[in-house]
Amino acid sequence: MTLPRKSIGFAMSPDGKRLYAVGGHPPNDECDITLLEFFDFDAWQWKQLRPLKTTLADPKVTISPDSTKLYVMGKTLRQGHVIASYDFSRAEWAEIPRTNSKEWKEFIMSPDGKTLCSLDTTSHYDVGKLEAIRVAL
């Protein structure tokens, strides 16, 4: 990585050619960072992309099946839990509106790339309520 850090969100591109690393914080600092970068397996090097608009604690990451967008969720100090998308063709971040304010622990993209899904859980033992967000293609 271009900047060593911990508590990073990772995702592999569907074609297996890139490993994305989002956010995290340096080992000696508890301040979250906005860095978005990827490891290019063909070039065998790290490259940086446009950083997040806000810092996110413990980010979770997934990529659309067609590799056009990266989705990240995490907690901010001001806004609570946020989900954002990064459009690779435009090099732009956009926040995704949510249907409720519950905390998402993990999320996954549907195979058709149209829906982000997560289970709302209040404890480690709850089955939880499924929440799904339709995303624009």
Q: What are the tens digits of pLDDT across the range 10-52? A: 999 999 999 999 988 777 776 777 889 999 999 999 999 999 8
pTM of the model: 0.83
Provide, rounded to the nearest whole percent, the portion of the chain with pLDDT above 70.
80
* pLDDT given at position 69: 93
> Which of 11-15, 17-21, 83-87, 113-117 comes out lowest in average pLDDT?
113-117
- Element spanning 58, H or E: strand 57-63
Distance CA 45, CA 66 (A): 23
Place of tokens 């690779």: 88
Mean pLDDT of 71-81: 79
Q: Is 110 helix (H, G, I), strand (E, B) or coil?
A: coil
Distance CA 69, CA 82 (A): 16
Nearest to 86 by CA among 119, 106, 59: 59
> Which of 45-59, 72-86, 91-105 comes out lowest in average pLDDT?
91-105
